[in-house]
Structure 1
Amino acid sequence: MKKEDKSLIIEKIGNVLGEYSCVYLTQTSGLNAERTSALRRACFKDDIKMLCVKNTLLKKAFEASETDYSGLYDLLHGETTLLLSNTGNAPAKLIKKFRQKNDTLPMLKGAFVEESVYVGEAQLDTLSNIKSKNELIADVVALLQSPAKNVISALQSGANKLHGILETLSNKEN
């Protein structure tokens, strides 16, 4: 491959990396063509970009990036497949779901999620339990609504009690 072609590919990889906040490095060697196609379809359905890249080109794209991916450099050996997403837990959930049909593949090498590096297969459960931005916003909204709901409920029950007391008093006078 010519040097110009390599620099073009490195630039393309860098542009793609810039579009996503979460980078997962996985190993998919051992998957047959049918399983690889199934993984690609599952990634597309879950809005995850899947790329198979050469480690040297990926490392150069990491180095050229403004983001510090240095924690992932040691993981760039063997076959590497990138799973890119803007939702931190989506690729981890996809890997776990995909593994239900296939024993151990794809295998997680490491991940870069929201400026944190996770290394090794053992981090898969941790990554799948990370809440996405939308889930966190929903939790905050629920927490903010809870006191208001309690006040409304108390006012409604108080109104019912007051109505009952007034009705009892009015019946007593008759």
Structure 2
Amino acid sequence: MRKEEKHEIVQSLTEQIKEYGNFYITDTADLTVAKINAIRRKFFENGISLQVAKNSLIRKALEAAGVEAPELDGVLKGSSTILFSSVANAPAKLIKELRKTGDKPILKGAYIDTAVFVGDKQLDALASLKSKEELVGEIIGLLQSPAKNVISGLQSGGNKLAGIVKTLQERG
């Protein structure tokens, strides 16, 4: 591989790391071409970008993107595939689904909004993470609940309230 090609790969990886903010490093070694293509298709259909790269180029891209995660140095060994997604838990959910039919891809590590997850044992924790949209929805629901209760109370007791106000006015 020429130096220019390596530079282009590092630049592309760096841009994706900055753009998505979330990435997973997996092991897809020893899979057949057909299996790899099926996995690529599944990831593409779910809006997840997949790229196979040399570990040294991934390290350079992490450094260039300003990612400080020394824990990931230990996982950058052997064959590495890097996955990018704007939804933090989407790759983990898809990996779990793919693992129902085989033992790969294996999660080596993940970087989610500055949090680092190392090892395949973290897959369940990553899959159960809530997306920003889900968290915002829950917060809005919690904030709306008390307001709905107040409005409901006022509407149901509207006649009583009017009577109380009228009585107070008559006394005053």
- Quickly name the TM-score band, shorter chain normalised: 0.7 to 0.9
Taking only aligned residues, the RMSD between alpha carbons, in angstroms, comes to 2.0
SS in structure 2 at match of 1:56: helix
SS in structure 2 at match of 1:26: strand
Q: Match for 2:131: what amino acid?
A: S
Aligned residues: 162
Cα deviation per residue 1:59-118 (whole Å; 9 max; x = unaligned)?
111122222233211100111011111211111111112222x23211100100010100
Q: Match for 1:97: what amino acid?
A: E
Separation (CA, whole Å) in 2 of partners of 1:159 and 1:11:
65
Separation (CA, whole Å) in 1 of partners of 2:35 and 2:147:
50
Once the two structures are TM-superposed, the CA of residue 31 in structure 1 deviates from its matched residue by 2.6
Name the residue aligned to 2:112.
Answer: 113
Separation (CA, whole Å) in 2 of partners of 1:94 and 1:30:
19
Q: Match for 1:143: what amino acid?
A: L
Q: Where has structure 1 moved over 4 Å in runs of 4 or more?
A: none
Query: Could you state the TM-score of these two structures normalised by the residue count of structure 1?
Result: 0.84
* 1:12 aligns to 2:12 (yes or no): yes
Query: Could you state the TM-score of these two structures normalised by the residue count of structure 2?
Result: 0.85
Identity %: 44
Q: Which deviates further from its counterpart, 140-149 or 64-73?
A: 64-73
Separation (CA, whole Å) in 2 of partners of 1:81 and 1:16:
14
Separation (CA, whole Å) in 2 of partners of 1:3 and 1:42:
32
SS in structure 1 at match of 2:157: helix
